[in-house]
Structure 1
Amino acid sequence: MLIDLHIHTIYGSSCSVLNPNDLIHQAKLSGLQGGCLTEHNEAWRPDKLKELVNGHGEDFVLINGMEVHTDLGHILVFGLPSYVEGINKAERLRKIADQEGGVLIAAHPFRSELSAYYNFNLHSREVELPISIEEACQHPIFQLVDAMEVVNGGSTWEEMDFCLEISRRINKAGTGGSDAHSIHGLGCCATSFSQVIKTPEDMISAIKSGQFQATDRRLNVPRFRSLPLYYDEVI
């Protein structure tokens, strides 16, 4: 089952131009069976989410999440009903996620270090930036998250190569998401689950058990089309 784990809309992300009413229709056209709403530091209200889902049938699953900005970088969160004070600290976010039965995914790690286009940072300003894969593998964020995003529609190839190598070395499961802020690119990167996902609980369980693969659906990138969960062999 193919789900885009990283989507922003105008409802909760000021940087997005994606109208929620266009999301499901366009996602279906792109071949997705599900999508995750990951607004910046904000979760959708349950009534608004239900309103959006109604009328679109039962063949598409929409899952509520957040992209939380923390002292250790951006983290995709699933399982928290709303933003909680203090979760801008990654260690507290981990504690709250555990209490709620949620999961954490490091979003586009090392983006600002590897792409001059972006200006936010995986590190607090007091932390020296890594200069090697070996140093990057030791970053404390990887002790707190359940998985890491290795395929992202807004990432450079250099960034994805870097993250893929980290995930291989530290044996950290990799996910994919478009990071879409408009209908363009929606579903270009996604996560393929080996089981049917009908609820947020289903997806959280699948992530915890490792039953998924990162997938890059763009043309001419065969090595990213279907990535193994643990990268003993790089495609």
Structure 2
Amino acid sequence: MRFDLHVHSNCSDGRDDVRTILRAAARRDLDGLSITDHDTLRGSQQAMKIIQEDKLDLILIPGAEVTTSEGHLLVLGIEDLPPRGLSPEETTDLAREQGGIAIVPHPYHPFRHAIGRIPECDAVEVYNSKHLFGIANARALIGAKRRHLPAVAGSDSHFAATVGLGVTEIEAADAFEAIEAIQAGRTRIIGKRTPPKFFIGNTFKSIYLILTTGGGRRRKA
């Protein structure tokens, strides 16, 4: 089954609303996804309600992209959001206490709030669709292999038009089985690069913030 595990809605810094994202996911033959808005579960909660009310054939893995003391960390399969500002390891522990998992996204992508290392976690996003050259993705894959950690992909979509560009194939009938499959490393990566027009402006904005304030890496993408 095809999952996009890294999607943003207008509940944080994405452009499109949750219903538009879900319709795009269905059109692109996704079987499931995770709405991973920044430091909020609101997008996931809206998605669950819409899927149930509209009887959509989609599996939702609840999640969020949490701001840790070092950078961003995806937490999936949770009901309660870990607080901002904890270490990646503390955030991972809180996710696991709920039966969820922690995935380090784009660990080496510059200007993307990357942690810059692979901390204690359950999986590594080795293919992030928002890349120019693929070097950071290659570093993530090498790091995951060295640590013997499962690999996943995600679109990191902030537009409905780019949902499904980063796909993790998982054999799962529901969100619980999807979490188990990721933990066990039963994943297959399918990736397609996001057209630069969808993210190049944010990249230049991040560079500008870093050069002018030195604080761009702690702001939301």
Deviation of the 1:192 alpha carbon: 0.2
Q: Deviations over 1:66-125 (max 9, x none)?
A: 11111232111013212233663222212212221111100100112xxxxx263425xx
Deviation of the 1:159 alpha carbon: 1.4
2-structure distance, mates of 1:62, 1:145: 21
Aligned length: 193
Q: Is the 8 A contact 1:68 1:88 kept in 2?
A: no
Question: Residue 3 of structure 1 aligns with which residue?
Answer: 3
2-structure distance, mates of 1:197, 1:217: 25
Q: Deviations over 1:119-169 (max 9, x none)?
A: 63425xxxxxxxxxxxxxxx4x43x11110011111231111221222233
Question: Residue 163 of structure 2 aligns with which residue?
Answer: 186
| Amino acid corresponding to residue 138 of structure 2 in structure 1 | D
What TM-score do the two structures reach when normalised by structure 2? 0.78
Question: Residue 122 of structure 1 aligns with which residue?
Answer: 115
Q: Is the 8 A contact 2:107 2:115 kept in 1?
A: yes
- Percent identity for Structure 1 against Structure 2: 25
Question: Residue 59 of structure 2 aligns with which residue?
Answer: 61
- Larger radius of gyration between Structure 1 and Structure 2: 1
Alignment partner for residue 125 of structure 2, among 141, 144, 149?
149
Alignment partner for residue 216 of structure 1, among 191, 197, 215?
191
Deviation of the 1:49 alpha carbon: 3.7
Counterparts of 1:169-208 in structure 2 under 5 Å?
Answer: 169-193=146-170, 195-198=171-174, 200-208=175-183
Alignment partner for residue 81 of structure 1, among 79, 82, 85?
79
| Amino acid corresponding to residue 109 of structure 2 in structure 1 | R
Q: Where in structure 1 are there 5+ consecutive unaligned residues? A: 113-117, 124-138, 220-235
| Amino acid corresponding to residue 10 of structure 1 in structure 2 | N
Q: Where in structure 2 are there 5+ consecutive unaligned residues? A: 195-221
What TM-score do the two structures reach when normalised by structure 1? 0.74
Counterparts of 1:35-114 in structure 2 under 5 Å?
Answer: 35-44=33-42, 48-85=46-83, 88-112=86-110
Deviation of the 1:3 alpha carbon: 0.4
2-structure distance, mates of 1:62, 1:80: 12
2-structure distance, mates of 1:22, 1:45: 12
CA RMSD after TM alignment? 2.2
1-structure distance, mates of 2:102, 2:187: 15
Bigger fraction of residues in helix: 2
Q: Is the 8 A contact 2:129 2:154 kept in 1?
A: yes
2-structure distance, mates of 1:119, 1:45: 21
| Amino acid corresponding to residue 2 of structure 1 in structure 2 | R
